[in-house]
Structure 1
Amino acid sequence: MNQTRPAVWLMLAIVLVALNLRPSMAAIGPLLSTIRGDIPLSFTLASLLTMLPVMAMGLAMFFGIAISQRLGEQRTVLLSLLIIGLATLSRLFINSALELIVSAILAGFGIAMIQALMPALIKSRFPDNVALCMGVYVTSIMGGAAIAASFAPLVMIRTGSWRMGLAIWAGLALLALAFWWLQRTNRPAALSAPNNASFFSNARAWLLAVFFGLGTASYTCVLAWLAPYYVEKGWSEQNAGLVLGFLTAMEVIAGLAVPAIANRSRDRRGVLIALILLIIGGFCGLMTGPPSLALLWPALLGLGIGGLFPMSLIVALDHCDEPQRAGGLTAFVQGIGYLIAGMSPLLAGMIRDRLGSFEGAWWALTAVMAVMLLMVTRFDPRHYARHFPSAI
């Protein structure tokens, strides 16, 4: 009992921290048409509000664990939450697209430092329940997105300010910062900085990184453009935000359920294939489905993306038994993966500006999912050990 209670409080602290890792991006989509009415923004330029923080997350992954090694996990998380909170709060005073983009990049760096160290921390503190705890952690990330997407339009309506709709989420950072500070007597052991250079020459590490990046490309693109897509279909900003919130709520359900189901077997391929097929069905439905089923397609997308995101990291963790080495691999996978995923909102925005519709982007992402089906066949757990045969 004495050992269980600190673990429960640590997991609760991780949940509160994770809630802060998406609102800075998720709140923008539902408010985009109002923001564009106040600040001149093309769809291509607006895509930078999602693209650049995701790219910053990718770049920062490569030195996030090194920073935590120097500062310690507690101070790294506190510093990261402070950066996220200040970047979010600064949006109260924004008057230009450049200021909005800078706030997004700063938030991205804070997010990356947390995401770089959390998988290794979870594997070291919860070695017998890695898949379940990773599911809770990643689901909490999506929960933060759901909260922001659903309530940002309501905050804007109640306050008459889109800036308040973006900035209010600094309160989440303050709550998490206070709770994480209370965990200072329950600090996990320090993690050693991995040698990421060794992963650059490993073909399996690249396969895992590309798989994570392509899957996350769907997540970032939907996060950026689903609400604007529904606004273009004639929905109000508030209802479009609720659709995005509904999708992310489905992600939360899948993020909790899928890792628990997958935890029954080390072979994750069947689960991965089912998730990818759900995403393909969601994208096809968006483009060709009847209006009467308008909520079915976000549900399919949410269930598929919500399960695929944690499963992509869990498969990477499966490859290495040592927490430090597994943390280094997941940092590499996320670093490369977020650099890949960050391009998807920009490409979708360019397609929208050129063709006048987001449907070209949905078709492109459907093709990407088909490629991922082929990649899944490579994840046979019987062969994991030979890809990382010696300690790094």
Structure 2
Amino acid sequence: MSNKQNIKAVPSSIGLIILGIIIIAANLRAPLTSVGPLVSLIRDDVRISNTVAGLITTLPLLAFALLSPLVPKFGRRYGIERIILIALIFLTVGIVIRSLSGAANLYIGTAILGFAIAVCNVLLPSLIKRDIPNKIGSMTGVYSISMSLFGAIASGISVPLAVNAGLKWQGALGIWGILSFVSILCWLPQLGNQTKQTTTTSQQMASNDVNVWRSPLAWQVTLFMGIQSMVFYVLIAWLPEILKQQGIGSNQSGWYLSIMQLALLPFTFIVPVIAGRMSSQRLLVVITIILLLTGTLGLLYGSSNIILVWIIILGIGGGCAFSLSMMFFGLRTENAHQAAELSGMAQSIGYLLAAIGPALIGFLHDATNSWNLPLFILLGASVLLFLVGIGAARNRFVGSRNSYELPRKGR
């Protein structure tokens, strides 16, 4: 049996790796979720329609779709740590450019930060699979909480920063450049990581060479990723506007969006831990869909007096869906290479689907002058999420026809 060599990074300290993952994850939603509550301010200042305003949320998703398939190759060639550092630098630059006045700067900066976030989105699951393989569930939960917590904070403080603090929408968006700069400083020590040669059997190399693009299971994971992302980013972009139609002011609707994201926090940690100990995650998929359907139906037909209840239910469902999509990258693959390839594929096609959401919903609202049809679209998306989720939750690896019992202890 022939052996082949593979480069594997050796972390100088697991503690530093975990700290780096947490701080980087904090940057992956805040620059995006800070936009939703400010859409009306941006729209009026730049003088654009709801459809065009939806592109502010759509552009990063298109960037995710375009760059994600290439990221695993960059990571293998230049090293995961180095590529992540470059991405963090571009993220900071993109945030600064977006915060400058003018529509051109708004969209150019948004595109740049979208490319940067795409790199980190793809490589973080692979980094966890490589360096902390026995704690995939708990580490996925930790970085999911970091993402969601800072995403919620960004939604809640955007309007107060822009209006009450007098920073305008530019300052409210630009302030997140401070966090991305701090993440650069925290990640710099990782460049000192040494590398070592590890031997890999030909059987393992064969598993490395699996073409995930030909795997039905990989496509189910991809569609699950895409549909849940579409639902989430539609809510991030338009929930404040949906609430305004029901008589809720900008400040309050921004905090409601923040509460939706805070509601998912415990579940972004609990769900990955539970999922990692289950051979099949189908029960979790069913629970997730019930929550999403209930929350959406509540916005459509429920009492406005308990609208916060529907928002919290939506948040919990969204948190479960996101956590499952992240877990599938590790649970449905056998090694870090496959995890990166599946992550790249899922985030490419998945976010391409998600990118359609905010602009389409904005267009439908402009065409009907109502949020009812957009909410029906979300109901249909939840049904589709169930269909692909049942397949993605099967106890199998990509590229394999047989079912494998996944290790449960320590996941």
8 Å contact from structure 1 (residues 196, 329) kept in 2: no
Q: TM-score when scaled to structure 1?
A: 0.92
Larger Cα-atom Rg: 2
Tell me the distance in 1 between the aligned counterparts of 2:395 and 2:81.
37
Tell me the distance in 2 between the aligned counterparts of 1:233 and 1:190.
61
8 Å contact from structure 2 (residues 98, 110) kept in 1: no
Tell me the distance in 2 between the aligned counterparts of 1:62 and 1:196.
15
Q: 1:338 to 1:4 in 2, by over 3 A?
A: closer
Cα offset for 1:92? 3.2
The residue type paired with residue 311 of structure 2 is P
SS in 2 for 1:342: helix
What is the match of residue 115 of structure 1?
121
List gaps (5 residues or longer) in structure 2.
1-9, 199-204, 403-411
After the TM superposition, which segments of 4 or more aligned residues of structure 1 sit over 4 Å from their partners? 186-192, 194-197
Correspondent of 1:25 among 32, 46, 52? 32
8 Å contact from structure 2 (residues 160, 251) kept in 1: yes
Tell me the distance in 2 between the aligned counterparts of 1:248 and 1:138.
11
- 2:138 is equivalent to residue 132 of structure 1: yes
Deviation string for 1:202-240 (max 9, x for gaps)? 222212211211111111111111112223322222211
8 Å contact from structure 2 (residues 91, 180) kept in 1: yes
- 2:260 is equivalent to residue 225 of structure 1: no
What is the match of residue 261 of structure 2?
248
Cα offset for 1:374? 2.7
SS in 1 for 2:247: coil
Q: TM-score when scaled to structure 2?
A: 0.88
The residue type paired with residue 112 of structure 2 is L
Correspondent of 1:76 among 80, 83, 92? 83
Tell me the distance in 2 between the aligned counterparts of 1:61 and 1:84.
15
SS in 2 for 1:345: helix
8 Å contact from structure 1 (residues 72, 190) kept in 2: no
List gaps (5 residues or longer) in structure 1.
none
8 Å contact from structure 1 (residues 195, 328) kept in 2: no
What is the match of residue 276 of structure 1?
289
Cα offset for 1:95? 1.7
- 2:46 is equivalent to residue 39 of structure 1: yes
The residue type paired with residue 345 of structure 1 is P
Cα offset for 1:282? 0.7
Correspondent of 1:55 among 27, 52, 62? 62
Cα offset for 1:380? 5.7
What is the match of residue 363 of structure 1?
376
Cα offset for 1:68? 2.2
Tell me the distance in 2 between the aligned counterparts of 1:196 and 1:273.
33
8 Å contact from structure 1 (residues 74, 187) kept in 2: no
8 Å contact from structure 1 (residues 69, 190) kept in 2: no
What is the match of residue 142 of structure 1?
148
Deviation string for 1:160-190 (max 9, x for gaps)? 4111011111011011111111333446879
- 2:361 is equivalent to residue 348 of structure 1: yes
RMSD over aligned Cα atoms: 2.4
